[in-house]
Structure 1
Amino acid sequence: MRKLTAALAAAALAAVATACGTGNGGGGTGALTVWLMDGSAPQEWLDELNAAFEEEHGVRVDVEIQQWDGIQDRVTTALSEDGTVDVLEIGNTQTVGYAGTGGLAGLSGLEDEPWNEPMLASARLDGTLYAVPWYGANRVVVYDRAIWREAGAEVPATRKEWLRALETIEENTDAEPLYLPGRSYYVMGGFVADEGGGFAVEEDGRWKGALNTPEGEAGMAFYARLHSFSDAPADNDEASPQQSTEIVPNRPVASWIGLGWEAAAAIEAIGERGQEADFGYFPVPGPTADRPGHVFLGGSNLAVSERAGDRELAEAWVRTATSARWHQRFVDAYDGGVVPARTDVTARPAEGSFAEAMVASADAGYLPPLTGGWSYVETEPNPVKDLMTRVLNGADYRTAAAEADTEITARINRD
């Protein structure tokens, strides 16, 4: 999540946010200290927001830009101390974990805003709101228009049509129809969600792995069918090697599944080779044409520290930053390239852009299990990734999934 959020922002805007002030921490300093992640906030938007807030409330806002590397340790320390931070940005898959430690303040005063429901789920714990959504992002299918024209393939709206298009490309061109690494488990999770399943389920207050199910098997089977059109190894993921810069620019690839920053990186890399990319974009297709396939909806939330110097003022900053007025300006600053956190804010991406396909997918967004223990599951060796590689190499799905579920259950319930 942390990589997705930072990278999306870097691709969406050329300007990278920098600190608005040095600050000495929150509480008792006459300033409000806000931690935002490198690349998350458009600078002009941030400057104008803080100028308006400072004028209204008579307090200085010190924004301290944080790097993603090592951020979990820094946030954990900051939330255990007085006077370090008042407002902070947190990755949406990390929010529940921090809330569970008691480090985040409840935000009941912001309950009634028109939040994007899939994004809002990541901000709650046991019915209490501990953060609010800020923005989201998800993957789409990136395709080479020239190769698809050569093959006579049509942009699909369903899984069946998608497979037919890949078959057409395979039959009529020398290009790789779809580059799909064997271990892109967030992509596979979307197919499981299409079937009504998930990585894990909660029963009687305890989580357990849920891949050894008909839904899990069907999702993995579709992933394997797609992977049959790819030359990617079964033991690689999308970052090793980096698909956008190390694979796509170096061989004829008809399509791949990626994020906005990856599409931008691929365009740049192709340009450096003296060529011009001609990409089109479409949502990951679902089983039927009336709804796109499920996609992992990454993003960031805004939270208030339980130890904030002035929690009421900190909540006021969050309320202002995510208000309809300021959030619309935030989304517009990204040219519609982020998924809005509010239903009364509209993304207005350019026709035919990556952002247009991404926003069209947002209502089918899904999240992994919202529990602090999920971070242990994602730690390498990731049992979901290992399951995928084993199955793609011919292992029996049920046997491999049962072993993966045992490992997921053991990890996800750790304190």
Structure 2
Amino acid sequence: MRIHRALACSLALVSVCAAGGCGTLPGFGDDTTKVTVWLMRNSASDDFVQRFERDFEKQHKNVELDVRIQEWTGIGEKIDAALKGKDAPDVIEVGNTQVPQYAASGGLLDMTLESIRDWGSDAWLPGLAQPGNVDGMQYGIPWYAANRVVIYNKDLFAAAGITKPPKDRAEWLADTAKLNSGGNQGIYLAGQDWYTLAGFVWDEGGQLAQEDTGDWKGALDSPAALRGMQFYKQLQALGKGPKNADEETPPQAGVFAKGKVAQMIAVPGGAKAIQKANPALADKLGYFPIPGPTDAKPGAVFTGGSDLIIPRRTPHRAEAVQVVAALTGEKWQTDLATTMNYVPNKSSLAPAVEGQAGTATMARGAAQGRATPNAPQWPAVEADNPIKPYMTAVLNGADPKKAAKTASDRITSLLFP
């Protein structure tokens, strides 16, 4: 799907290059530049894109935006090819954890100066900003975030005498144990929900992998990471989630919708799937941030979402930077967050979503957000994913340290193929 302002008539594109770059559009004045932007399907609504285009072009009379919607399937190969070619788009939306992979190609524009001087990078959500920063240079600029929260059944909480959500891990375990009775599951937590495990590992001070003198190595066998897995095992046992499958096998929202599950861990959008399967639960759903080890702050969570990058070879550097500045600035961050139920890229903008219960809860947890390791080869780890069988092994009684060492060694080998 391609969304852009239709030209008044068919025009032949004339290649005109000068010291300042190429891209002048005949018929739009000598100084009008066409800027191509790739956004991913469903990241923003058509209406949002059209509003942004109209406003941006009104504010920048010399720019014509050409926003092209891309499919997630196969996008990695398409972006790799674009970064190596001569006709790359000027701005590209990418998954936040994909930035290190693209930065390794040397094909991205360094926007460190703009980030520090103009865009307040010190206030960005860490789960978006950190993966966009490679070797001290900011290549990915945070656009929007999403993370997991606890979705709970208010009626089951009330029946168990629980009047408010837990504030720390100890309360969470105690409450979940109360809820795990009378044929109800205290929590539905699949055995291979590794993104949730990652948060517990980070809370303990551990890592999935860590860099050591330039080399990346698996780190699930550290004492801190093992403590995170131990907590996961305690929590998972307070329900009937399968030990050998992830949260989509079967889809956990469908299990929750039967009305016998008190809690599940998911992005707030999971509530829509629950309500679709069982409309009677629509008014019975609540949200709270994943509790941390103490009540001082919510637990760490994996931050998903998108960053914006600019190919280094763009002939329209100034205009591309203006597009990124607008999309990641307060006005359009607020608009995108309220339109799409996203977390904006700065905690200071979170009040914009206070009227949306699930999104507001997500925003509170996002302040503790993290991302997967910045290793360029991390996508290979996720494709093979030795973390999942490791979790299943531990839940089934295997020696945690030995199982973690096996998984860590496999991660290390994948990071250095």
TM-score normalised by the chain length of structure 2: 0.88
C-alpha distance in structure 1 between counterparts of 2:6 and 2:99, whole Å: 26
Partner of 1:313: 319
Paired residues for 1:229-378 under 5 Å: 229-244=238-253, 246-250=254-258, 252-271=260-279, 276=282, 278-334=284-340, 337-350=341-354, 353-378=357-382
**SS at the partner of 1:60?**
strand
Q: 1:374-393 CA distances to partner (integer Å, 9 max, x unpaired)?
A: 1111113x111111000001
Kindly state the Cα deviation for residue 84 of structure 1 after the two structures are TM-superposed.
3.3
1:205 corresponds in structure 2 to: 214
Of the three residues 91, 98, 121, the one matched with 1:94 is: 98
**SS of aligned partner of 1:260:** coil
Confirm or deny that 1:156 pairs with 2:140: no
Aligned to 1:7: none
- 1:9 counterpart residue number: none
The alignment status of 1:82 with 2:77, answered yes or no, reads no
AA partner of residue 77 (structure 1): A
* Residues 61 and 239 of structure 1, relative CA distance in 2, 3 Å threshold: same
1:52: how far off?
2.6
Q: 2:88, 2:311 within 8 Å by CA — same for their partners in 1?
A: no
1:20 aligned residue: 4
Cα 1:276/1:105, change in 2 over 3 Å? closer
Q: Is the 8 A contact 2:336 2:342 kept in 1?
A: no
User: AA paired with 1:64?
Assistant: R
Moved more, 75-84 or 185-194: 75-84
Instruction: Provide the C-alpha distance between the structure 1 equivalents of 2:72 and 2:115, rounded to a whole number of angstroms.
Output: 28
1:47 matched residue in structure 2: 50
Aligned equivalent of 1:165: 175
TM superposition shift of 1:213:
1.3
Provide the rounded CA distance (Å) in 2 between the counterparts of 1:378 and 1:393.
Answer: 22
The CA deviation at 1:373 is: 1.1
- Output the amino acid matched with 2:76: Q
User: Do the aligned partners of residues 344 and 278 (structure 1) sit closer, same or farther apart at CA in structure 2, a change above 3 Å counting?
Assistant: closer
CA offset at residue 314 of structure 1?
1.0
User: In the comparison of the two structures, how many residue pairs are matched?
Assistant: 391
For 1:161, give the aligned amino acid. E
Distance in 2, matches of 1:153 and 1:140, equals 18
Whether 1:34 aligns to 2:44 is: no
Encode CA deviations 1:88-113: one digit per residue, 9 max, x unaligned.
00100001110111121111342222
Per mean C-alpha deviation after superposition, the further-off stretch among 307-316 and 191-200 is 307-316
Contact 2:180 2:239 in 1 (8 A): no
Structure 1 CA distance for aligned equivalents of residues 2 and 286 of structure 2: 33
Label 1:275 to 1:343 Cα distance change in 2 as closer, same or farther (>3 A): closer
TM superposition shift of 1:412: 1.5
107-116 vs 371-380, which moves further? 107-116
SS in structure 2 opposite 1:320?
helix
The aligned counterpart of 1:176 is 185
| SS at structure 2 position matched to 1:196 | coil
Q: Which residue of 2 aligns with 1:12?
A: none
CA distance in 2, matches of 1:79, 1:40: 22
**1:358 Cα deviation from its structure 2 partner:** 0.7
How far apart in 2 are the matches of 1:321 and 1:32? 14
Unaligned runs of 5+ in 2: 8-12, 16-20, 26-33
- Deviation string for 1:30-62 (max 9, x for gaps)? 311100011112333322322232232422101
2:414 equivalent to 1:411: yes
Please give the TM-score of this superposition, normalised by the length of structure 1.
0.89
In the other structure, the counterpart of 1:6 is: none
Match of 1:14 in 2: none
Q: State the distance in 2 between where 1:27 and 1:376 align.
A: 37
State the Cα distance separating 1:352 from its structure 2 match. Answer: 7.3
Q: CA deviation at 1:28?
A: 3.1
Q: Secondary structure at the match of 2:4?
A: coil
Per the alignment, in what secondary structure is the counterpart of residue 291 of structure 1? Answer: coil
SS at match of 1:288: coil
What residue is the counterpart of 1:10 in the other structure? none
